[in-house]
Every structure is written in C-alpha cells, then in structure tokens.
Amino acid sequence: MARSGYKDYWKILQVSKGADQATIKQAFRRLARQHHPDVKPNDKAAEDRFKEINEAYEVLSDPEKRRRYEQFGRYWSGGSGQTSGGAGMDMDFQNYGNFDEFINDLLSRFGEGNIPGGFSASGFPRRPGRSRPLDLDAEASLKISFAEAFHGCERTLSVRTFANKQESVQVRIPAGILPATRLRLKGKGNVQPGTGRRGDLYLKVQLKPHSVWRLEGDQLKADLPLGLDEAVLGGEIEVPTPQGTATVTVPAGIQPGQNLRLRGQGWYSSSGRKDLLFTVVIHVPPSPSPQELALLRQWAACRKGSPRQAMARQAVLPKSL
C-alpha cells in the first residue's frame, strides 16, 4: 500500500504508544470488524480505513518493524515508500464463510494463531501460553437404511466449500458396514480461507431401524414366531432371510427364547457371511377358530400337571434360611 507522508499508526489503531501486543490485537480486531467491506458495502471511505487499519497492525504487531517505526518515523521502511500490504489485501472476501473466518486467517498471516484476549476462534478461553492447533477436519452423520448397509450402496452428498458454495461428493458404502463406522473422505472437510488448505470429512454411519432385522455387534438377529404345534412337534419350516427364504429344522419341544442358527446367512464381513440367528417366540392367535378352541380344550383336559409347578416350588421367599 502506498505511503504518503507520516502515518500515526498508534492513532489509526486508537491505542497509546506504549500499548502491548494484546492491546494492539484487541484494537485491530475491533476496528477491522467495524470497517470490514461486508459490514459497510460500497463505502469507499470504510474500505480505505480498513486498509489503513491493516497496514498499522502489520507494522505494530511485528517487533522489528515496530522498533524501526518508533526510531525512524516516516523513514522506518528504509526509503522504499512501500509496506508489504501483507494484511491480506490480496484476499478475496468471497472465500470466507463469515467474518470470524476472515479475521482469524488475517491474524494467522501476521503470525498470530489465536484471537486476542485469550479466546480461540470458537469464543472459549484457551490455556495461557498455548496455541490451539488448526483442525480443518469435519464430522457429520450419515443415516442409511438396513438394505443399504447390508448390500452396500453409493450416496451423493453436498458439502460446503468456499463462501458457502456447495460441492457434490460421491460416497461408496461397503456391503456389511456396521453402525458407528466412520468413513473418511480425504480433502472434503473444512477449508482454511486464504490458503485453500482443506481437512478431511468423517462420516459416522447410522442405521435406520428395521421392522424385522436387528444388529447386535455384527450379529444379525430376528424374532421367529412359532405356532404352539410347531414348537411342540418340531419339524422343518420355511423362514425369511435378507435375500429370500431358507429352510430350518425346529427341534421338537423347543422353548421360547432359544435360538435357531442359519449358517452363512447373516451379515457381511471381511471373512465372509456371518450366521443368522432367530430367537423363538410363541405366536398366540388373537382370534382362534372354533376348531382350534375345541382342540385346545381337549389338550387342557389331557395335560399332566401345571406348567407352573417348578415355579411354585421356588417362588416363596422364606423369612430365614
């Protein structure tokens, strides 16, 4: 930026000549926000003032430039008549999602990794004497159906780039992906304004509930309703699977809560298909036919003892052992 005569950088930043670095940074941030072109669009005076503020901060925030400025005044730069204008005057404001992104990047160009006043970019206090490393990685949740997780699929996502612009990204979901899996999309995370540096995007997979199937770890399970006759008599029955039907043998006298296993019909894994587990439940017809009721009454008449005999023997809790 061209210099015409002496400029009082202290006065421009509205600080005293003995101001420390923290005070200078605070003043710069306050004034830069006040005169930013986005705050006062189409205001030439505000734009010129904004450039002056940047020039003043560039000099006073650099110990060597500040020393020469204090010693030599208008001739501090060695007669070049130019400052570097390094406060980001070549920056395109459209590359920033918001004002804080611009200010934080501007400070980083002056060698300052944090916002003045002991606060990080998020506005929370930072530990004294420590700079928070720049983290451009981003996280998001990706909810998919059971079918998409089982078979695998491709999804098209929209991610933000510069100035809230959107970019379409293809995501491949492998078959047999598990809930809470994190997928990494390299170079699709947050963008550092002014430099173009970009982090990675991590997608945490979530599965929508299914009316039949459920996952416990990598074990695919489902309840298997059996009629009373099927549970008592046993035999081969046809059962549904995620890819069609299969036949399973029910042992005679199987009890509710016991499991039946179908080998190699479960969830996909790196070593092949896992087993599919069915948990037996007894289906009680809500509206039995007259014939069913007649047979059940005959069954009740023939039944030996009470199904609660074992329970009755053990249920009473004695007062003393």
Note if the pTM is more than 0.85: no
How many other C-beta atoms lie within 10 A of the C-beta of residue 35? Answer: 20
Question: Which residue carries 């981003």 as its tokens?
Answer: 138
CATH among 2.60.40.10, 2.60.260.20, 2.60.40.3080, 2.40.110.10 for 138-207 = 2.60.260.20
Bridge partners (DSSP) of residue 239 are 246
CB 234 within 8 A of CB 171: no
CB 142 within 8 A of CB 203: yes
> What are the two backbone dihedrals, phi and then psi, of residue 86, each rounded to the nearest 5 degrees?
-70, 0
Does the pLDDT value for residue 96 go beyond 90? no
Please name which of 23, 22, 6 lies closest in space to residue 14, comparing C-alpha atoms. 23
What's the pLDDT band for 32 if we cut at 50, 70, 90? Answer: confident
pLDDT for res 74: 61
Please name which of 242, 248, 245 lies closest in space to residue 266, comparing C-alpha atoms. 242
Sheet order of strands, 219-226 included: 214-216, 219-226, 276-282, 259-262
Query: For the ranges 92-106, 163-177, 213-227, 257-271, which has the lowest average pLDDT?
Result: 92-106
Q: What Rg, from alpha-carbon coordinates, does the chain have?
A: 36
What's the pLDDT band for 87 if we cut at 50, 70, 90? Answer: very low
Taking only the tens place, the pLDDT of each residue in 212-256 is 999 999 999 999 999 999 999 999 999 999 999 999 999 999 999
CB 137 within 8 A of CB 144: no
CATH topology of domain 9-109: Helix Hairpins (1.10.287)
Percentage of residues of the chain with pLDDT beyond 90? 39
Beta strands 201-207; 276-282: pairing state: unpaired
Spatial neighbors of 148 by CB under 8 A, at least 6 apart, are 173
The first and second tokens of residue 119, run together, are: 């606060």
Per DSSP, 54 falls in state H
- Do the domains at 138-207 and 214-292 have one common CATH topology? yes
What's the pLDDT band for 271 if we cut at 50, 70, 90? Answer: confident
CB 89 within 8 A of CB 51: yes
Greatest C-alpha distance within the chain: 115
Bridge partners (DSSP) of residue 268 are 273
> What are the two backbone dihedrals, phi and then psi, of residue 260, each rounded to the nearest 5 degrees?
-115, 140
Which CATH class for the 214-292 domain? mainly beta
What's the pLDDT band for 127 if we cut at 50, 70, 90? Answer: very low
Domain boundaries, the chain: 9-109, 138-207, 214-292
Per DSSP, 284 falls in state P
Percentage of residues of the chain with pLDDT beyond 70? 76
What's the pLDDT band for 132 if we cut at 50, 70, 90? Answer: very low
The first and second tokens of residue 51, run together, are: 């450039």
Q: Mark 147-170 as b/e (b = at least 16 C-beta within 10 Å).
A: ebbbeebeeebebeeeeeeeeeee
Residue 92 CA to residue 241 CA, distance in Å, equals 57
Q: Could you write out the DSSP letters of every residue in 184-195? A: EETT-S-B-TTT
Residue 321 CA to residue 302 CA, distance in Å, equals 38
pLDDT for res 111: 44
